[in-house]
Chain A
């Protein structure tokens, strides 16, 4: 009997789950480096690195973070459509804690002076960061309860919060866009310590998630529940709790992404923040090789690479001067190519290349 142990670098590489995400990302980056000159420039200014490639790292951070949470949800056989709306809710919570004047909170002193003071925050900074994360996790728990205990289809269950979430966010901020003057908070999305702070946050979350899923049994339970929840149940796994965890964690990730995005654009805009990001996150997961709809084996690294590849595509479009309105269309073309690349036929063809070349070698 022969398993997937057939020798040769090519077959080893093509059998790896990271093969396709790496190929996609490498393809886009090679294209960029060849045809877009600005991608070749990385400058060191004031001890910080700048350039298009660095921008890709910075701008992909929220999608990477969302994709990590989404990976676990998709691995359980579900999907979370509400992450964009959850981002809107938690960024509204963060902004209102920085500057609640809009709600008519009785503040001492001259309000006008305070809100434009770059050092002013109504709540202490730890609370401004922690409370939105807790709120986002609760949103995820809500989704998880609907899916695992309510036995509602994940798409329908999370659609509820996807639609209601932006309304809730509007209620929190009284439907006003709150501008953020606080410079400390703005560091989350705009800060730079050699590399962008957002990149460090994404990297840290990635490592933590990897430890949580792979250094405990949670990762295997998530996969087991996604592949066959009945068998998992018969093996004594509490499949409801596993799903609950996945959705809650996905909500938490949306909260982290919300902090980065709102601080980066220095406002909470309940209608715009996180709009369509759920789709980017799902797409990143799919590019990363976790199967949508069927659940099962997941790859956090694949999802992260997928998210970076998506952002690299967008950044290259901007760099090439494609109009912002046309970018979505171009992105769609890229997505079609990627999905075709993932089809069974294409994969068999690629694997066949290895055997054909080794046959040729043998013939010689």
Chain B
């Protein structure tokens, strides 16, 4: 691991904004832990890290959406307290979000200058408005008809309009671009980069959040890596190899708890010869390239890869959320023809989805109801589990997984993230599946719970259940899996079995360009 640069060698200029010792807690999550972050005049600064690393929380603190629990923000050498997004904009800190938050039915010019329209005799001077908007866009080297509705242009142009609006109206000195390229074509991305470089040459500090490492290398001067809410370090981009960057993002070890290290999955003894699941050339165009996968009873297969590499896509196909358009999927010796969660559950497949809040918990229902939900769904509408039975099942899993809740009737939304995750695990354990797919089961939860979940996976495998384990944390995958499948660019890249070297896997994740 390279040493963090002796703090903040001024690459390009003095710091405009410096955040020091930022700490932020949400119920059940320590989102930011003593994070330092600064951006200098005339630099493009990448902010990277896997989901849950704390990027968005850091940006929210900087833009006044969230107030930090601890720490200071210094703007031009003065300590400021940013109370609202509007206040941040007044201070010259503007944000362009991934989803363009402008009005598609208004013209480009109106969008850029809304709230600041030039007036004449008390009414809007349309000619001046369009003229000003045109000039502002030309500074970004965009020449379009500003009287057309914004929605008639591509996302890239809309983003340019958003940038123009951020710069012109707010007099921005710090511009935060939150994953602006995720929906852009290569050509549009190149155009955006030209604009970013131009802004940089004008002395504006650009904070660039992205998941695409190529882009980090293409356009940024420095890169700050966050992991699990903590600062890993800030480095001059050019001094850091791609391999080193991935290593920093994924983390060699989240924790040195002996407890966790002691729970390494046993070698292949427990695996039966029986093939539970077999995928031959299964794929879905636009989602995941055709892949082969074989899973035995009692085996844990880890899926490793960066975010967006196709891990979740595979999970969704195996659980029947998405129907593949090529290949054959066999489960328990039978070819799978019906793809839906309900059919998969009937076959004995369960999925803990990646997005716990949107796809996992049912917030207003109680812990008890959340736990029995899948079990009841497979029993049907009329064979209701008796109330006493429900409490017995709920209490059993609350004790087994040590779910911290005052009682089984607590609405699950009042629990911490880690305990919500345990409730969803309990839901699937109660349904007694043969294959459990865990998509990022340990994201955003505390270390203790992480260890619990890893132990649980190992225990389940010993009991003969199969498991697909997806995680951004490589050491976690290494510890829990018999075999590891590496995904890259929405395709299966390679597969490792037996005693795997961490370095080899990292190379596979990074691809040949390392």
| Genuine A/B complex | yes
- CA distance in complex: A237, B377 (Å): 5
Known contacts A1-B406, A215-B384; decide if A230 and B377 are in contact (CB<8 Å).
Answer: no
Q: Which residues of A contact B344 (CB under 8 A)?
A: 236
Q: Which residues of A contact B365 (CB under 8 A)?
A: 220, 223-224, 227
B359 touches A230 (CB 8 A): yes
Does A39 lie at the interface of the complex (its beta carbon under 8 Å from any beta carbon of B)? no
Instruction: Give a binary string over B412-456; 1 marks a CB under 8 Å from any A CB, 0 the rest.
Output: 001000000000000100000000000000000000000000000
Known contacts A1-B406, A228-B362, A231-B361; decide if A216 and B374 are in contact (CB<8 Å).
Answer: no
- CA distance in complex: A2, B384 (Å): 30
Does A235 lie at the interface of the complex (its beta carbon under 8 Å from any beta carbon of B)? yes
Does B341 lie at the interface of the complex (its beta carbon under 8 Å from any beta carbon of A)? yes
A selection of 12 A-B contacts at a CB cut-off of 8 Å is A5-B407, A217-B381, A217-B385, A221-B376, A227-B362, A230-B359, A231-B359, A231-B360, A234-B360, A235-B427, A237-B342, A237-B373
- CA distance in complex: A296, B411 (Å): 12
Q: Can you list the 7 inter-chain pairs with the closest CB atoms, starting with the nearest?
A: A236-B377, A236-B345, A3-B406, A236-B342, A235-B374, A217-B384, A237-B377
A234 touches B406 (CB 8 A): no
Does A101 lie at the interface of the complex (its beta carbon under 8 Å from any beta carbon of B)? no
- CA distance in complex: A223, B363 (Å): 11
Instruction: Give a binary string over B329-350; 1 marks a CB under 8 Å from any A CB, 0 the rest.
Output: 0000000000001101110000
A3 touches B407 (CB 8 A): yes
B427 touches A217 (CB 8 A): no
Does A232 lie at the interface of the complex (its beta carbon under 8 Å from any beta carbon of B)? yes
Name the residue of chain B whose CB is nearest to the CB of A229: B362
Instruction: Give a binary string over B300-321; 1 marks a CB under 8 Å from any A CB, 0 the rest.
Output: 0000000000000000000101
B381 touches A231 (CB 8 A): no
- In the complex, how many residue pairs between chain A and chain B have their CB atoms under 8 Å apart? 85
Known contacts A5-B407, A231-B359; decide if A216 and B364 are in contact (CB<8 Å).
Answer: no
A296 touches B364 (CB 8 A): yes
Q: Which residues of B contact A3 (CB under 8 A)?
A: 406-407, 409-410, 414
A238 touches B342 (CB 8 A): yes
Known contacts A227-B365, A234-B353; decide if A221 and B381 are in contact (CB<8 Å).
Answer: yes
B379 touches A217 (CB 8 A): yes
From residue A239, how far is it (CB to closest CB) to chain B in Å? 10
B373 touches A235 (CB 8 A): yes
Name the residue of chain A whose CB is nearest to the CB of B345: A236
A236 touches B374 (CB 8 A): yes
Instruction: Give a binary string over A65-78; 1 marks a CB under 8 Å from any B CB, 0 the rest.
Output: 00000000000000
A217 touches B406 (CB 8 A): no
Name the residue of chain B whose CB is nearest to the CB of A230: B359
Q: Which residues of A contact B410 (CB under 8 A)?
A: 3
A224 touches B363 (CB 8 A): no
Does B380 lie at the interface of the complex (its beta carbon under 8 Å from any beta carbon of A)? yes
- CA distance in complex: A152, B382 (Å): 28
- CA distance in complex: A225, B18 (Å): 46
Q: Which residues of B contact A1 (CB under 8 A)?
A: 404-406
Does A297 lie at the interface of the complex (its beta carbon under 8 Å from any beta carbon of B)? yes
Name the residue of chain B whose CB is nearest to the CB of A231: B362
Interface set of A (CB-CB < 8 Å, partner B): 1-3, 5, 215-218, 220-221, 223-224, 227-228, 230-238, 296-297
Best-surrounded residue of A217, A218, A231, A234 (most CB of chain B within 10 A):
A234
Q: Which residues of A contact B381 (CB under 8 A)?
A: 216-218, 221
Q: Which residues of B contact A227 (CB under 8 A)?
A: 362-365
Q: Which residues of B contact A297 (CB under 8 A)?
A: 364
- Beyond A233-B341, A236-B377, A237-B373, list 10 extra A-B contacts (CB 8 Å): A1-B404, A1-B405, A3-B414, A216-B381, A217-B379, A231-B361, A231-B362, A236-B341, A238-B342, A296-B364
Name the residue of chain A whose CB is nearest to the CB of B355: A230
Q: Which residues of A contact B427 (CB under 8 A)?
A: 235
A223 touches B364 (CB 8 A): yes
Interface set of B (CB-CB < 8 Å, partner A): 319, 321, 341-342, 344-346, 351, 353, 358-365, 369, 373-374, 376-385, 404-407, 409-410, 414, 427
- CA distance in complex: A215, B384 (Å): 7
B345 touches A217 (CB 8 A): no
A235 touches B377 (CB 8 A): yes
- CA distance in complex: A234, B406 (Å): 27
Q: Which residues of B contact A220 (CB under 8 A)?
A: 365, 369, 373, 376
- CA distance in complex: A217, B382 (Å): 6
A230 touches B376 (CB 8 A): no
Known contacts A5-B406, A215-B384, A238-B342; decide if A230 and B358 are in contact (CB<8 Å).
Answer: yes
From residue A279, how far is it (CB to closest CB) to chain B in Å? 26
Q: Which residues of A contact B376 (CB under 8 A)?
A: 217, 220-221
Name the residue of chain B whose CB is nearest to the CB of A297: B364
- CA distance in complex: A280, B6 (Å): 70
A235 touches B369 (CB 8 A): no
B361 touches A216 (CB 8 A): no
Q: Which residues of B contact A233 (CB under 8 A)?
A: 341
A228 touches B321 (CB 8 A): no
- CA distance in complex: A231, B373 (Å): 10
Best-surrounded residue of B341, B351, B380 (most CB of chain A within 10 A):
B341
B353 touches A224 (CB 8 A): no
A234 touches B363 (CB 8 A): no
Q: Which residues of B contact A238 (CB under 8 A)?
A: 342
Q: Which residues of B contact A296 (CB under 8 A)?
A: 364
B378 touches A236 (CB 8 A): yes
B362 touches A224 (CB 8 A): yes
- CA distance in complex: A35, B280 (Å): 80
- CA distance in complex: A3, B321 (Å): 36
B406 touches A2 (CB 8 A): yes
Q: Which residues of A contact B407 (CB under 8 A)?
A: 3, 5
Name the residue of chain A whose CB is nearest to the CB of B369: A220
Q: Which residues of A contact B364 (CB under 8 A)?
A: 223, 227, 296-297
Name the residue of chain B whose CB is nearest to the CB of A224: B362
From residue B352, how far is it (CB to closest CB) to chain A in Å? 9
- CA distance in complex: A5, B407 (Å): 10
A221 touches B358 (CB 8 A): no
Q: Which residues of A contact B380 (CB under 8 A)?
A: 217
From residue B364, how far is it (CB to closest CB) to chain A in Å? 5
- CA distance in complex: A82, B376 (Å): 32
- CA distance in complex: A281, B179 (Å): 46
CB < 8 Å neighbour of B361 from A2, A215, A228, A236: A228
From residue B429, how far is it (CB to closest CB) to chain A in Å? 13
Q: Which residues of A contact B351 (CB under 8 A)?
A: 234
From residue A11, how far is it (CB to closest CB) to chain B in Å? 15
Q: Which residues of B contact A217 (CB under 8 A)?
A: 376-377, 379-385
Best-surrounded residue of A2, A218, A236 (most CB of chain B within 10 A):
A236
B359 touches A234 (CB 8 A): yes
- CA distance in complex: A224, B381 (Å): 13
Best-surrounded residue of B373, B384, B409 (most CB of chain A within 10 A):
B373
